[in-house]
Each structure stands twice: as structure tokens, then as C-alpha cells.
Structure 1
């Protein structure tokens, strides 16, 4: 493998890892899962998830920047929704994989 191809593969692997890292934070994952049902504002997410407003807002900023969610303003409220329908499919597939392997995943000491 030539040096240029090897460097591209490393960059690609880092980028994919970062993408999955976006969903590896429990707060971000809970927010995304909550938004699968319908769009919500920060107050609704705080009430539903029981997480501090500052944490929700911080994680929403990350999710929005990286393209997982989008926002629209209505009056004084900002409503967040899933930006790309493929995120729904990724989470659906993850649910299936976790369901099939939950015992092993929960006992894994290497991650």
C-alpha cells in the first residue's frame, strides 16, 4: 500500500470513529433517541430526560454542528429534530445488534 493511500485510510478511520463518537456520549444518544419521535425544544428535553439545561444545550450544539440534528426557531423557542433520516436507520440497526449481543457488550472489559 502506498503512503498516500495509507494516510487517506487513517484519516477516514479517524473521521468514522469521530462520527460514532458523536453517538457514544450517553446524553447525546438520549437526545437523539428522544428526537426520533418528534421535534422538541430544550425545555421539553430537560423535562423528559431529567438532564440539566446547560448539558442539553451543550450537547445539542455538538449534535447540530456535526449534522445529527437541525433546528428551527418558532417565536422564542428553538425546536430540534433529526436532520438526516439515515440517523434513524443507524439507530434502528444498532438497536438490533445490541439486542442480539447485549450480554456480551455489557460484560466487555476491553472497551
Structure 2
């Protein structure tokens, strides 16, 4: 259930409209903030307040992205008193991100969005993602 940029609807609606589950998974991981949260949770459980402090993000932003990751069953939480501790539910996710790092290293971080195969040159979010990847920013 990734949150789309167009009004905040979740990818689950897109799946019902015909987007494959694989595309929905990668869409849910296509946001830098969600990747930063995943990276932090890979080191262990964290509360929302921990994530906001460590990542320098607003509480509402962290909560929104945690809800998305929970909707995809990639993150869950456990309650302890009045606190919620978030954690990664799928260790395979870190394998996937490690494979992405290897692919980026092998391609010299030259991966770009291809306008011929569906990248939208008029889409500022796509252009920013292409610039981020072309700039060699690692996932972890």
C-alpha cells in the first residue's frame, strides 16, 4: 500500500486497477523517506519519536510512511505500554536492497529513467528520482 504522489491514494487501489504486485512493491520502495526508514529499522526497532529525531523528519511524515510500509507488510510494530516499537517484518527486504546496491555498483550508478520505455520527462518526481540515481546516491 504505497502512497502515490497524486493525492495520497495507496498502491492497493492501483493493484486492483491492474498494476502488478511487483510494480506495487517497487513503487512502495521508490520513496527516499521510506528507504531511510527501512535503513534505520534494519539496525533495530524504533519508535516514531526515535525516527523523527534520527532522520530529521516531522512526526506526521514518519507516521504516514510507516503506515505505507505497514500496509505492504514490510514493517509492523509491537506495543509496550503506551509506546509502539516499529520493526522490519521481512529480512528478505534487506537482501533486495543489497542486490540493488550491487546492481548500482555494477552499472556505475548509471541507471536512469528511460523516456522511451515509460519514464515521463514531464513528471518532476520521476526527474528527481532519475537525478538522484544518476547522482550515485546509495540506498544504504
- Shorter chain as denominator, the TM-score bin is 0.7 to 0.9
Aligned to 2:138: none
Question: Residues 6-85 of structure 1: matches in 2 within 5 Å?
Answer: 11=18, 14-85=20-91
Which portions of structure 1, spanning 4 or more consecutive aligned residues, are displaced by more than 6 angstroms?
A: none
Look up the match of 2:134: none
Alpha-carbon distance between aligned partners in 2 of 1:73 and 1:99, rounded to the nearest angstrom: 39
Specify which of 61, 82, 90 is matched with residue 96 of structure 2. 90
Which structure 1 segments of 5+ residues have no match?
1-10
- Number of aligned residue pairs: give it: 99
RMSD value, Cα: 1.7
Whether the 8 Å CA contact 2:104–2:110 is kept in 1: the answer is: no
- TM-score, with structure 2 as normaliser: 0.65
Residue 70 of structure 1, CA deviation = 1.2
Which structure has the greater CA radius of gyration? 1
How far apart, CA to CA, are the structure 2 residues paired with 1:109 and 1:64? 27
Higher fraction of helix: 1
Identify if the C-alpha distance between structure 1 residues 26 and 37 changes in structure 2 by more than 3 Å, giving closer, same or farther.
Answer: same
TM-score by length of 1: 0.81
Tell me, which stretches of 5 or more residues in structure 2 are unaligned? 1-17, 120-140
